[in-house]
Structure 1
Amino acid sequence: MIKNNKIENIGGMEFATFKLKEGVTEVRLIELAQRVEEQFLSQQEELILHFLVRGSDGRYADVAIASSQVKAEEYCQQWLENDAALEYLERLDKDSVNMTFWTKIN
Structure 2
Amino acid sequence: MVQTTCPAPNFNGCEFSTFRAKEGVSDEQLIAASLKMEQEFLKTESGFIHHTLLKGDHGAWADTVFTHSKSAAEQICQNFMSNPACLEYLQLIEDGSASLTFWSRAH
Please report the TM-score for the alignment, with normalisation by the length of structure 1. 0.89
The 5-angstrom pairing of residues 59-70 of structure 1 reads: 59-70=60-71
The 5-angstrom pairing of residues 1-106 of structure 1 reads: 7=9, 9-106=10-107
| Aligned-partner SS, 2:58 | coil
Query: Unaligned stretches of 5+ in structure 2?
Result: 1-6
Once the two structures are aligned, what percentage of the paired residues are identical? 37
RMSD: 1.2
| Aligned-partner SS, 1:99 | strand
Aligned residues: 101
Query: Unaligned stretches of 5+ in structure 1?
Result: none
Q: Please tell me whether Structure 1 or Structure 2 has the larger radius of gyration of its CA atoms.
A: 2
Q: Which has the higher helix share?
A: 1
